[in-house]
Amino acid sequence: MDWSSRRTRVQLFVVAIAVLALAVRLVGLGARVAHQDEARVAYWAYRYMESGVYWYRPIVHGPFLTIVDSHVFALLGANDFTMRLVVAVVGGLLPLAALLFGDRLRDSETLALALVLAANPVLLYYSRFYRNDLLLAGFMLVAFGFFVRAYDRDRPLHLYLGVAFFALAFTTKENALVYPVTWLGALALLADRRLLMRTHSPAQTLRNATRRIRAGLGRWWLHLVLGVVLFVGIVVFFYAPRGQAAGAEPTLGATLADPTLLPALVEEALIGSWHAFVEQWGSGSGDAYLDTATALWSVLGAGAPVLLGFSVVGFLADRYTGDRPRDVVAFSFFWGTASALGYPVIVDNPFPWEVIHVIVPLALPAAVGLALVGRIGLSRLRVSLAHSQVDRDAVVAVVAALVLVVAAGQVAASAYDTSYANPQSADNELVQYAQSSSEMKPLLGELQRVVRANDGTDVLYYGDNPDFDGDELYAPDPGSHLTPTAGEGWFERLPFAWYLEGDGARTNSTNDAAAVRRAVQGADRPPVVIAFGPSEACSEEYDNAADIEQYLDGYERHKVQRFLFDSGCTISSMVVYVDGGAASSPANSSATRAPSPALSPS
């Protein structure tokens, strides 16, 4: 390796940025209490690790995280740190994608792109969050980079790598389908610009383009066919049902034992998954466009104002200055702008993580704008120093330096505040309302210790909320290996189910207060009882804890919030009762146990 080479130094700087980004993402990765979605999907990955049973459920999104995290849990254990580890690693290494555009960007722009991908507050926050969106956007950016590199260097290997990451993106989340649409739109705009800049007649320009496309297909047709096979193979591998209990459709294991099942497996993985997707998500957003757009764009304004500003500067400067606008800069800007305008139409809910799909493509023109300001400042500073006087060049250099310092300060302050200082605050624009409160974490640790030391039933859930359909917190069969949940009441247990049931707790539940009295007065006294607490948004009749508190002598009472705020009559408050004697007993290690039978109401 030529250490004196400028390109080598740039590569080393990008690698250093990625290493630092990864380290920042790993610090305190397990400190935040699991969000409701994190707890739900992580628990299902844990159950897949235990049972080996999996089939595509659109409500959980793609299979990638469930399958990969099941192996992480088997290797490192299941906890908040390991739950988020895969996303953190991908987010930390994402700055390396800047190297894929080295043939199209200046060295300063390559470095700037790595910095933007490493430091943007939204990307940082959701690199430390167990969701698929960062994976989807990151894989698509890497796929785009490899496709550009395959075109520039005429190397089939880059095409195959691009296809592989493109296919992995489709295993993360269903809105991967939006990316080819935005890419085709961006290509159409690039083609239109080429026609406007033509040196020949439109007809001649089209004929020249057609000849180039035919020549390319003549040389690359086999690689394109193999690329399609690779794409289908990766998608089928992840979407294929697993485990004999997954249903009547063929499973991956059965197909490996009997290859004649392969056509049926491919059909189930592709066509079956498509039908499931359309049934769940085919209707799109039911909200008014402006309401959804306002919610998403406010997150962009809070989490990426510097990136948005520099992306406009970079796009306009590249388009209207220099000898020739660069396709990759314009393409990325069109891609990001289309996503900003289009996501309010397609998203089911305007949750803050959706803006990741706008930020990642806009990072590239933002890097161009950032590097431009830096180059202007340095060049004017050199001229001013050469003249040894304070003149217009010196003023420009100072202004450029101030712009960069203010931008860096804003990004650093926002990143620290959103990801470390207040990662669970209602004032944090990046926090969605289903984030549980921070004071829950010490209590969860105590509950896990009590559960591990106990024999018999560990946790008794009690809850009946008339505002909901069915009995809340009451789930009749939490030990079922065929489904991840035991009824709608199971969802109201989150995030406790992730921390307790995922830690081997024997759970029981009832919707009858008398059954709670018998349980806590019996020989198999559960050390933990959990019920709904009072809510400011609901009347006192929904305070389920008040129904049973008279029976819980000797239990310590803890009130926590599993949502940031009450929405309508959603019960956010939970009351957790811990047997004082069990809490003071030393912890003993216990093996994972099957849940006990459901309590029968009297």
Q: Are residues 447 and 356 in the same domain?
A: no
List the Cα angle 535/537/543 in 5-degree steps. 30
- Residue 595: the pLDDT is 41
502 token code pair: 């995922």
pLDDT tops 70 at residue 100: yes
Q: What is the pLDDT of residues 16-66, one digit of tens each?
A: 999 999 999 999 999 999 998 999 899 989 988 888 888 888 888 889 999
Task: Please give the average per-residue pLDDT across 510-523, as a whole number.
Answer: 87
Residue 402 lies in a domain: no
Q: What is the pLDDT of residues 65-76, one digit of tens each?
A: 999 999 999 999
What pLDDT band is residue 162 in, cutting at 50, 70 and 90?
A: very high
Please state, rounded to an integer, the average pLDDT across all residues of the chain: 84
Task: Please give the average per-residue pLDDT across 213-235, as a whole number.
Answer: 86
- Residue 256: the pLDDT is 87
Residue 406 lies in a domain: no
In percent, the amount of the chain with pLDDT more than 90 equals 42
- Residue 95: the pLDDT is 97
Q: What is the pLDDT of residues 546-559, one digit of tens each?
A: 888 899 888 999 98
Q: Are residues 324 and 454 in the same domain?
A: no
Total count of domains within the chain: 2
Domain range for residue 17? 3-281+288-370
Residue 488 lies in a domain: yes
Q: How many CB atoms lie within 10 A of CB 76?
A: 11
Q: Are residues 355 and 471 in the same domain?
A: no
What pLDDT band is residue 476 in, cutting at 50, 70 and 90?
A: low
Task: Please give the average per-residue pLDDT across 158-163, as a whole number.
Answer: 96
Q: Are residues 494 and 347 in the same domain?
A: no
Q: Are residues 339 and 448 in the same domain?
A: no
Q: How many CB atoms lie within 10 A of CB 383?
A: 15
Phi then psi for residue 560, to 5 deg, are -135, 165
Return d(Cα 160, Cα 158) in angstroms, integer.
5
What's the half-sphere exposure (Cβ side, CA atoms, 13 Å) at 351? Answer: 13
Q: Are residues 79 and 201 in the same domain?
A: yes
Check residues 563 and 477 and name the one with the higher pLDDT. 563
Residue 431 lies in a domain: no
- Strands 528-532, 507-510: pairing kind: unpaired
- Residue 577: the pLDDT is 93
Q: Are residues 315 and 459 in the same domain?
A: no
Q: How would you list the strands of the sheet with 555-561, edge to edge?
A: 507-510, 459-462, 528-532, 573-579, 555-561
What pLDDT band is residue 541 in, cutting at 50, 70 and 90?
A: low
CA distances from 191 to 148, 185, 186, 198 (A): 16, 10, 9, 10
Q: What is the pLDDT of residues 550-595, one digit of tens each?
A: 998 889 999 888 887 655 555 578 899 998 876 666 544 444 444 4
244 token code pair: 């004999």
Residue 383 lies in a domain: no
Q: What is the CATH number of the domain that holds 524?
A: 3.40.190
Q: What is the pLDDT of residues 401-422, one digit of tens each?
A: 888 888 889 989 999 999 998 8
Dihedral (CA of 266, 267, 272, 274) sign: positive
Q: How many CB atoms lie within 10 A of CB 375?
A: 14
Residue 597 lies in a domain: no
pLDDT tops 60 at residue 460: yes
Q: Are residues 363 and 491 in the same domain?
A: no
Q: What is the pLDDT of residues 368-406, one digit of tens each?
A: 999 998 888 777 666 655 666 556 767 777 888 888 888
Q: What is the pLDDT of residues 172-208, one digit of tens each?
A: 998 999 999 999 999 988 887 777 666 556 666 667 7
Q: How many CB atoms lie within 10 A of CB 254?
A: 18
Contact 97, 138 (CB under 8 A): yes
Q: What is the pLDDT of residues 321-366, one digit of tens each?
A: 877 789 999 999 999 999 999 888 888 788 999 999 999 999 999 9
Q: What is the DSSP letter of 461?
A: E
Residue 543 lies in a domain: yes
Which of 370, 403, 423 is the last residue before a domain boundary? Answer: 370
Q: Are residues 354 and 502 in the same domain?
A: no
Return d(Cα 203, Cα 186) in angstroms, integer.
21
- Residue 600: the pLDDT is 35
Residue 417 lies in a domain: no
CB proximity list for 547: less than 8 A, separation 6 or greater: 462, 513, 531
Check residues 105 and 568 and name the one with the higher pLDDT. 105
Which of 317, 337, 370 is the last residue before a domain boundary? Answer: 370
Return d(Cα 158, Cα 24) in angstroms, integer.
30
Contact 278, 86 (CB under 8 A): no
Task: Please give the average per-residue pLDDT across 104-110, as a whole number.
Answer: 93
Return d(Cα 339, Cα 355) in angstroms, integer.
9
- Residue 597: the pLDDT is 39
Return d(Cα 502, Cα 294) in angstroms, integer.
38
Which of 370, 393, 428 is the last residue before a domain boundary? Answer: 370
pLDDT tops 90 at residue 524: no
Return d(Cα 265, Cα 236) in angstroms, integer.
8
Torsion-angle region of 467 (φ positive above 0: left; ψ -120 to 50: alpha; else: beta): alpha
Contact 377, 323 (CB under 8 A): no
**Of the given ranges (144-158, 439-453, 519-533, 578-592), which has the lowest mean pLDDT?**
578-592
Of the candidates 288, 407, 308, the residue with the CA atom closest to the CA atom of residue 365: 308
The tokens 């496709």 sit on which residue? 147
- Residue 391: the pLDDT is 62
Q: Are residues 362 and 443 in the same domain?
A: no
CB proximity list for 341: less than 8 A, separation 6 or greater: none
Predicted TM-score of the model (pTM): 0.90
pLDDT tops 90 at residue 147: yes
Check residues 214 and 16 and name the one with the higher pLDDT. 16
What's the half-sphere exposure (Cβ side, CA atoms, 13 Å) at 348? Answer: 10
Q: Are residues 362 and 448 in the same domain?
A: no
Q: Are residues 332 and 446 in the same domain?
A: no
Q: What is the pLDDT of residues 297-321, one digit of tens each?
A: 999 999 999 999 999 999 999 988 8
Check residues 491 and 553 and name the one with the higher pLDDT. 553
